[in-house]
Amino acid sequence: MLSEAERRCAERQVRLTPQRRRVLEVIADRHGAIGAYEIIARLGEGRSRPAPISVYRALDFLMAQGLVHRLASLNAFIACSGPDRAHGAQFLICRGCGVIGELNDASVEAAIGRAAAAAGFAVAAPLVEVTGLCRSCRTSDAPA
Amino acid sequence: MLSEAERRCAERQVRLTPQRRRVLEVIADRHGAIGAYEIIARLGEGRSRPAPISVYRALDFLMAQGLVHRLASLNAFIACSGPDRAHGAQFLICRGCGVIGELNDASVEAAIGRAAAAAGFAVAAPLVEVTGLCRSCRTSDAPA
DNA sequence: GCCCCACCTGTTACACTATAACATAGCGAA
DNA sequence: TTCGCTATGTTATAGTGTAACAGGTGGGGC
């Protein structure tokens, strides 16, 4: 995953600096969403804690490269599961266990494109965040 | 719109108190998105300015009744255009002029439902926020 | 009438999220 | 070397949202 990120940055002639790389590592370590200030805390464990702005700048870079997504409804960030193919951001957020699934369904994006076009709207960044229950939380909650 | 809201609250036996009603009025006055702290400022123009928590509580109520939606990507709120029929939240956000369009397209919701079901996920609250350019901003930007 | 309960609101303080403005440092090319 | 671009550091502050507890209001049952 990290090597894929490096390959991609080299290809685009952008710099995956040590600091940006550390931020990406912290996000990827967590298999799920992580808040900006928790990233800051994790980075500050050994060395000196970076200022918020430093981490936000790294996050801006990583998002621009499509390596990280922002979950607007959670104010949190998550590593992109399949950074190789371009895609909009579609997420399934389980309100039971908090697990995040990346959806990236072409038919959803197509339906959004059609509906938007019918309104004369040119889509730039479609954002889909679906709250609900994942398979395992659903079965355990079922008898309610 | 306000009378529709009153009707709906009466039907459900919930109270659209003066304070909640004022918050709804402020949101509806603005034909677009408005931030929580701007609502506070508007409410504080004549009388004494309410505490943030008061406004957030009113917003929670209005959202629970489906009279107001939250735009997660903007940290802002907007009056629901068609509160009579139940629907998820789907918005078109123009990054040119800032105008917000409510989409509420059944095929988008259906596509999300299908894709989520394929992942074993039970949808509770689908959120769609599409950034792009509205018809008029698109034509004026075109020659670029 | 009176009490009780449920709901709504007020008050104070605080936590969390994000950016502005300006200074410094590294790195490559002319 | 010097310039220009990008990345980072430093300090301060703006913006968004909640916690915890107290007080007030209104309606139903006795």
Instruction: Give the model confidence (pLDDT) of B114-130 as tens digits.
Output: 999 999 999 999 999 99
Does A125 contact B107 at a Cβ distance shorter than 8 Å?
A: no
For residue A68, list its beta bridge partners. Answer: A79
Q: Which residues contact A33 (CB under 8 A, 6 or more apart)?
A: A71, A74, A76, A77, A78, A98, A100
The CA-atom distances, in angstroms, between B13 and each of A108, B2, B16, B129 are: 37, 16, 9, 31
Domains and CATH numbers, chain A: 2-79 (1.10.10.10), 89-141 (3.30.1490.190)
Does B134 contact A114 at a Cβ distance shorter than 8 Å?
A: no
CA of A114 to C1' of C16 (A): 38
Q: For residue range B52-111, list pLDDT tens digits in order.
A: 999 999 999 999 999 999 999 999 999 988 766 666 689 999 998 999 999 989 999 999
Rg (CA), chain A: 17
Q: For residue range B21-37, list pLDDT tens digits in order.
A: 999 999 999 989 999 99
Name B residues 2-21 whose Cβ lies under 7 Å from strand C.
14-15, 17-20
- The two tokens of residue B91 are 């918005």
CA B128/CA B91 separation, integer angstroms: 6
Q: What is the mean pLDDT of chain A?
A: 90
CA A99/CA A136 separation, integer angstroms: 11
